[in-house]
């Protein structure tokens, strides 16, 4: 059947804390903050995600608009009524976790099954001053959550830990997963580029610790002044006095478009973590495990384009290998084709286990449905090309707009192509993400990302009768009920400049989508050969976007979908959803797609209940639990590398699904070599372990970085405490390989989880 490309309860990760209350102390214990209903598990392609900039949604609790210690000048309230004005979008507006809780019925009725919120932890809470050439000053705040100050305390503008846990529980009780934004690339701006790069902030703090080195929290999970020094936090690292090498400290990237520039220099003068430092990697892993212990269902990783992939791989592995099993991981690898980084982008999930926000889908949808600068045929080509390029195309998180780009409504003010784009998003391969307010046609004052970060409370009445709202609701229901949309392949049945007809198929289940993007022009689509059974198929949107039923009949022995006319802006969605039965197992998705022996893995599809056998190649895995739609299993001890998962039920064997088995806990080795090259050559490393390609030059690491040529270096993810052999090679664009001479080199990786070690600068043999 070709390549068929996550939800079950996940317990919570363990993290040692000390609880303090009432003047007495509870000894250090394992925190196991389990939700009221139990965590719902990772995202699956059946989910519809709703992205909320917490500060810009709803103000449910006005008491935290200006938290203690914060300045009222950071809150947008020119009339002093205590409520955000929605005018100065650089300042806080007042949205909080209580506001999200208040709107859960609105979200649930729309068909939202997962909510992605801003980073929940404490951010820098001082003014960020941008000095203007004319003498004025623009004052910015960290309302967006991307300027971490303390990973182990909540952002008080959003609420305390008890409010976060209430949000988690309310979402879970209503069947919605919780994904948090998480930043491991940087802290805040440490140099001010508008003031001669003068020293600014960027400091990182942590809570008080007890004598055993454990963080101290009260019974509600909030930091306390354990050492009675008048503070509930302590300075951990300062990029302007970086005594322990926590930051790269190389200054802003500017126009440096090299991989080195992207990964090691500052993004917008934000203090860039040195993730090659083992202490930094361990600390960031600890921070993520702290939030995993709160019962969340996933992480959206910020700025993955700017991060060291070896660190990302180890970070994700540490999170998913901890108690509670795998959660969702997707990240912001921001490209815009044509882009020289496309190959790096499309392979990032395979190399790290962290999926991508689908910027390629965004680009194509914006051009096809927004600006009309590309055709519908171009959009269809993108769908099929990326389905081939992406190993796990249904796990890519697709979107029309988000906080990093302008509002789609700013580009496309006409309702008909706007609705058509929404329909395409919700029926295409991938896991769709709806930016808050898209269903209410929120727009921007200009094309900037900040202009799109409007305060929804002041811009919308949360109308549940908009066509966009109802389109999301109907197609979310179809995505959950018909596996063709969630797990299926994509085939283009017909395309022109303005019309696209495509099929999603998972075994016998099919959904056919026919779209006319032109608002005022009709087009006739000729009869289309189909494998659908004969009969009449009603529009799953019930005519909401002007669609109607269509008929399949047999013509000269071939079933055909009858010719039809698409009126301006018309979208038809015809669904064929037969019961596949329970006898034959069929795999649709697997989470995670990378892990080690002993890890939990969730297998999704149909026919998975009853007596089943799960195998990784030929090795049998332990099945923990199963139902018709999901299996929880344990990765068996099996040879490291790519393995194929199958499920056997009686004499029936499922299709295969790719899974990469890691040797062990992943740590970093920074390889360095002094080597001269000719034009077009790059340096790589190969070795006798799978992470180094098992001596196969075609499976070598990515090319080394060379900011100080002829010295080359690269951080590589390898199993901890392992002695391995390796050699450096030179390879050109044509694939010609030159091996260095001499004996095989040997090295032993760090035995510490999240450890990092350095070979020192070696000389090409």
**CB-based contacts of 572: which residues, under 8 Å, 6+ apart?**
512, 513, 514, 539, 541, 547, 548, 550, 564, 566
Average pLDDT over residues 566-582: 98
More confident residue, 356 or 2: 356
What residue spans in the chain does CATH classification 2.60.40.10 cover?
Answer: 586-661, 666-763
Nearest by Cα to 269 from 195, 345, 205, 183: 195
To which H or E segment does residue 165 belong? helix 161-173
What pLDDT score was predicted for residue 73?
Answer: 97
To which H or E segment does residue 314 belong? helix 309-321
At residue 33 the predicted structure's pLDDT band, cuts being 50, 70 and 90, is very low
What pLDDT score was predicted for residue 638?
Answer: 97
User: How many Å apart are CA 474 and CA 575, to the nearest integer?
Assistant: 12
CB contact at 8 A, 154 and 120: yes
**What architecture is domain 485-576?**
Sandwich (2.60)
What pLDDT score was predicted for residue 650?
Answer: 97
Average pLDDT over residues 48-67: 98
Q: What percent of the chain has pLDDT over 70?
A: 95
What pLDDT score was predicted for residue 3?
Answer: 34
At residue 21 the predicted structure's pLDDT band, cuts being 50, 70 and 90, is very low
Average pLDDT over residues 447-470: 97
Residue 8 in this model has a pLDDT that exceeds 60: no
What pLDDT score was predicted for residue 175?
Answer: 96
User: How many Å apart are CA 89 and CA 86, to the nearest integer?
Assistant: 7
User: How many Å apart are CA 303 and CA 259, to the nearest integer?
Assistant: 13
The answer to whether domain 586-661 has CATH 3.40.50.2000 is no
- What does the H/E/C string look like for 324-371? CCCCEEEECCCCCCCCCCHHHHHHHHHHHCCEEECHHHHHHHHHHHHH
What residue spans in the chain does CATH classification 2.60.40.1180 cover?
Answer: 485-576
Q: What percent of the chain has pLDDT over 90?
A: 94
Average pLDDT over residues 725-740: 97
Residue tagged active-site, from 332, 393, 439, 589:
332
**CB-based contacts of 347: which residues, under 8 Å, 6+ apart?**
none
Residue 36 in this model has a pLDDT that exceeds 90: no
What pLDDT score was predicted for residue 26?
Answer: 27
What pLDDT score was predicted for residue 338?
Answer: 80
570 is catalytic: no
At residue 41 the predicted structure's pLDDT band, cuts being 50, 70 and 90, is confident
Residue tagged active-site, from 208, 302, 374, 570:
302
- What does the H/E/C string look like for 403-438? CCCCCHHHHCCCHHHHHHHHHHHHHCCCEEEEECCH
More confident residue, 41 or 161: 161
* CA dihedral angle for residue 347, residue 353, residue 358, residue 360, rounded to 10 degrees: 0
What pLDDT score was predicted for residue 39?
Answer: 62
Q: Is the pTM of this model over 0.85?
A: yes
Average pLDDT over residues 737-751: 98
Residue-wise pLDDT tens digits, 499-509: 999 999 999 99
CB atoms within 10 A of CB 225: 14
User: How many Å apart are CA 111 and CA 331, to the nearest integer?
Assistant: 23
Residue 25 in this model has a pLDDT that exceeds 60: no
* Domain 666-763, CATH among 1.10.287.110, 3.40.50.10800, 3.30.360.10, 2.60.40.10: 2.60.40.10
302 is catalytic: yes
Residue-wise pLDDT tens digits, 601-649: 999 999 999 999 999 999 999 999 999 999 999 999 999 999 999 999 9
Q: Angle CA(379)–CA(573)–CA(375) in degrees, nearest 5?
A: 20
Least confident range from 23-37, 217-231, 572-586, 632-646: namely 23-37
Residue-wise pLDDT tens digits, 466-484: 999 999 999 999 999 999 9
Average pLDDT over residues 41-67: 97
Residue-wise pLDDT tens digits, 375-401: 999 999 999 999 999 999 999 999 999
What pLDDT score was predicted for residue 456?
Answer: 98
Hey, is 464 helix, strand or coil? coil
User: How many Å apart are CA 34 and CA 176, to the nearest integer?
Assistant: 15
At residue 27 the predicted structure's pLDDT band, cuts being 50, 70 and 90, is very low
At residue 28 the predicted structure's pLDDT band, cuts being 50, 70 and 90, is very low
User: How many Å apart are CA 568 and CA 496, to the nearest integer?
Assistant: 15
Residue 240 in this model has a pLDDT that exceeds 80: yes
- Tell me the average pLDDT of the chain: 94
**CB-based contacts of 703: which residues, under 8 Å, 6+ apart?**
682, 683, 684, 714, 731
């Amino acid at each position: 059947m070709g390549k068929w490309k996550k939800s079950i309860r996940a317990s919570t990760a363990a993290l040692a804390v000390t609880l303090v209350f009432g003047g007495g102390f509870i000894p250090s214990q394992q925190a196991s903050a389990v939700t009221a209903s139990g965590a719902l598990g990772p995202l699956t392609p059946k989910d519809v995600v709703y992205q909320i900039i917490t500060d810009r949604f709803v103000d449910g609790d006005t008491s935290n608009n200006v938290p203690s210690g914060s300045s009222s000048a950071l809150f947008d309230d020119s009339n002093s009524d205590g409520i955000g004005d929605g005018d100065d979008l650089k300042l806080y507006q007042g949205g909080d976790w209580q506001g999200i809780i208040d709107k859960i019925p609105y979200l649930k009725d729309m068909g939202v099954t997962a909510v992605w919120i801003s980073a929940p932890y404490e951010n820098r809470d001082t003014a960020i001053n941008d000095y203007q050439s004319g003498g004025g000053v623009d004052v910015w705040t960290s309302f967006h959550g991307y300027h971490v100050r303390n990973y182990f305390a909540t952002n008080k503008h959003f609420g305390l830990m008890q409010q976060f846990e209430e949000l988690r529980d309310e979402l879970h009780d209503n069947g919605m997963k919780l994904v948090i934004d998480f930043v491991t690339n940087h802290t805040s701006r440490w140099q001010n580029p508008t003031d001669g790069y003068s020293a600014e902030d960027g400091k990182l703090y942590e809570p008080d610790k007890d004598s055993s080195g454990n963080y101290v929290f009260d019974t509600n999970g909030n930091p306390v002044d354990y050492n009675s020094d008048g503070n509930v936090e302590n300075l951990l690292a300062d990029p302007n006095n970086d005594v322990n090498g926590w930051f790269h400290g190389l200054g802003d990237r500017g126009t440096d478009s090299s991989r080195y520039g992207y990964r090691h220099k500052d993004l917008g003068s934000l203090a860039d973590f040195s993730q090659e430092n083992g202490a930094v990697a361990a600390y960031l892993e600890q921070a993520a495990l702290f939030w995993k212990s709160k019962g969340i269902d996933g992480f959206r990783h910020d700025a993955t384009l700017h991060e060291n992939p070896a660190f990302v791989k180890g970070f994700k592995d540490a999170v998913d290998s901890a108690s509670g099993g795998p959660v969702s991981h997707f990240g912001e690898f921001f490209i815009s084709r044509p882009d020289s980084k496309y190959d790096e982008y499309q392979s990032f999930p395979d190399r790290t286990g962290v999926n991508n926000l689908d910027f390629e889908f965004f680009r194509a949808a914006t051009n096809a449905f927004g600006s009309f600068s590309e055709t519908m045929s171009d959009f269809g080509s993108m769908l099929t090309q990326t389905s081939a390029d992406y190993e796990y195309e249904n796990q890519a998180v697709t979107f029309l707009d988000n906080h990093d780009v302008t509002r789609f409504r700013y580009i496309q003010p006409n309702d008909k192509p706007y609705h058509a784009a929404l329909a395409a998003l919700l029926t295409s391969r991938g896991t769709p993400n709806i930016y808050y307010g898209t269903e209410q046609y929120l727009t921007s004052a200009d094309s900037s990302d900040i202009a799109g970060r409007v305060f929804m409370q002041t811009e919308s009445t949360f109308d549940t009768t908009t066509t966009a709202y109802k389109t999301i609701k109907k197609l979310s229901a179809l995505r959950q009920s018909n596996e063709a949309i969630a797990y299926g392949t994509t085939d283009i049945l017909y395309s022109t400049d303005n019309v696209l007809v495509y099929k999603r198929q998972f075994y016998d289940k099919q959904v056919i989508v026919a779209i006319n993007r032109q608002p005022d022009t009709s087009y006739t689509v000729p009869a289309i050969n189909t494998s659908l059974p004969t009969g009449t198929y009603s529009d799953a949107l019930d005519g909401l976007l002007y669609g109607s039923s269509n008929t399949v009949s047999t013509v000269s022995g071939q079933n055909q979908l009858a010719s039809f006319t698409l009126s301006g802006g018309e979208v038809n969605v015809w669904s064929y959803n037969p019961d596949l039965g329970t006898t034959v197992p069929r795999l649709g998705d697997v989470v995670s797609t990378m892990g080690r022996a002993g890890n939990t893995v969730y297998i999704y599809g149909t026919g998975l209940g009853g007596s089943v056998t799960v195998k990784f190649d030929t090795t049998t895995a332990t099945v923990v639990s199963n139902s018709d739609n999901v299996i929880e299993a344990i990765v068996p001890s099996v040879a490291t590398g790519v393995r194929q998962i199958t499920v056997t039920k009686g004499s029936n064997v499922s299709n295969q699904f790719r899974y990469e088995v890691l040797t062990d806990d992943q740590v970093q080795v920074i390889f360095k070599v002094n080597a001269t090259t000719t034009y077009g050559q790059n340096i790589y490393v190969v070795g006798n372990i799978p992470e180094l390609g098992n001596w196969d030059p075609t499976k070598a690491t990515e090319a080394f970085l060379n900011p100080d040529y002829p010295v080359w270096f690269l951080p590589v993810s390898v199993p901890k405490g392992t002695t391995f052999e390796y050699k450096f090679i030179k390879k050109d664009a044509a694939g010609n390989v030159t091996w260095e001479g001499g004996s095989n080199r040997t090295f032993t990786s760090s035995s510490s989880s999240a450890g990092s070690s350095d070979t020192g600068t070696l000389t090409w043999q």
